[in-house]
Amino acid sequence: MLLVASDHAGFDLKEKLKTTLDRLGVAYDDLGTHSTDSVDYPDFARRVAEAVSRGQAERGLLVCGSGQGMAMTANRYRGVRAALAFDEETARLSREHNDANVLALGSRVLDHELAARILAVWLATPFAGGRHQARVAKIEPPEER
């Protein structure tokens, strides 16, 4: 299950990306926000990051104005590897090399078509493992390894 969330700035793009998910046949749950009324992005990033951290969801999609705030918040949670992607290549590499389990996108810096392509690549790209596995393991603080 993919969890999706946005703040008010990311709401419109999130709604458009849900149609992409439907087209791709990806099951998802929308954790909000549900309008363009002003909200605080950490509240919505937290909903997704906590679920991914607890193993209640395999992956998450977060959308705000730049994607930065959502990624920063999500990465505070153990086991979450949120990647801010701005093109298909950064999306692919975030999965292949870093095993990113949360994708952050910026509605003010990406148009819908590019964001949809980024999302599709991110969802389709497996983690390569191998030499990357040990590096990914080092992301967690030493006391949690």
- pLDDT for 144 equals 63
Name the pTM for this structure: 0.96
Catalytic residue among 8, 34, 64, 132: 64
Q: What distance in Å separates the CA atoms of residue 83 and residue 70, rounded to the nearest whole number?
A: 10
The pLDDT, as a whole number, for residue 61 is: 99
Residue 113 has pLDDT above 90, yes or no: yes
Q: Which fold does the domain 2-144 belong to in CATH?
A: Ribose 5-phosphate Isomerase B; Chain: A, (3.40.1400)
In this predicted model, what pLDDT tens digit does every residue of 29-85 receive, in sequence order? Answer: 999 999 999 999 999 999 999 999 999 999 999 999 999 999 999 999 999 999 999
pLDDT at 43: 98
Q: Which of 8, 97, 112, 132 is catalytic?
A: 97
Q: Is 97 a catalytic residue?
A: yes
Q: CB count, 10 Å around CB of 79?
A: 13
Could you give the CA distance from residue 80 to residue 16 in angstroms, rounded to a whole number?
25
